[in-house]
Structure 1
Amino acid sequence: MAPDHHEGDNAAALRPTEPQRRYLERGLSEPGGKLPLFDAEGRAVPRKTVEACVSHGWARPWFDNPLKPDWLVCRLTEAGYRALGKEPPKA
């Protein structure tokens, strides 16, 4: 029987690519770990980057945007903080 694994345990062991890391790092200074829709130059963060971070467990959808339903508004997870070498904030 396979050992019981938690998604966050595996996600924290993986390393984000450079674009994923840049995206995730932006959430470190935002309330609640909110991740940006746009990069530092004002370009939309590629959906592929956002979806990859969600699939690895580093980010999770936060809320639906009624004005732009195709935008994926996310926040850092505990695994996301750890993938960046940071401790998640205490709740």
Structure 2
Amino acid sequence: MPESKHGDVVKEDQNTVASGALKAGSLTAPQRRWLLKGLDQPGGKLPLFDGNGREIPARTIRACIEAGWAEPWFSNPIKPDWLVCKLTPAAVEVLSASQNRKRS
């Protein structure tokens, strides 16, 4: 049975919507703080813990994944419930641009 291309179209639409939402500033303050930390890390790796050693809330992580701003990177065999994520290319582009505007 041939595979439908509909899934690819939906995926592209979701990425476009997520990118537009990020540009529109629909990020919450905790989401923005968490995503900005990935800009300074190799591969855009996002932290599991905040600066005070507290775990980043799973709700924040899942919301960013669903919006297309972060993506799961790999599974942690020791802690399978931890979501190890990295920034998406679209998020890197938009966050970098917003950081450059603030510095100007």
TM-score (norm 2): 0.73
Query: Cα RMSD over matched residues?
Result: 1.8
Structure 2 CA distance for aligned equivalents of residues 74 and 21 of structure 1: 15
Residue in 2 aligned with 1:10? Answer: 17
Per-residue displacement from partner, 1:29-60 (whole Å, max 9, x unpaired)? 00000000001111100000000000000000
Matched, 1:78 2:89: yes
Q: After TM superposition, what 4+ stretches of structure 1 lie above 4 angstroms from structure 2?
A: none
One-letter amino acid of the counterpart of residue 58, structure 2 = R
Structure 2 CA distance for aligned equivalents of residues 79 and 16 of structure 1: 14
Residue in 1 aligned with 2:47? Answer: 36
Q: Figure out how many residues of one structure are paired with residues of the other and give that number.
A: 84
Q: Structure 2: give runs of 5+ residues left out of the alignment.
A: 1-8, 99-104
Query: Among the aligned pairs, what percent are the same residue?
Result: 51
Q: Compare the two structures and name the one with the higher helix fraction.
A: 2
Q: Structure 1: give runs of 5+ residues left out of the alignment.
A: none
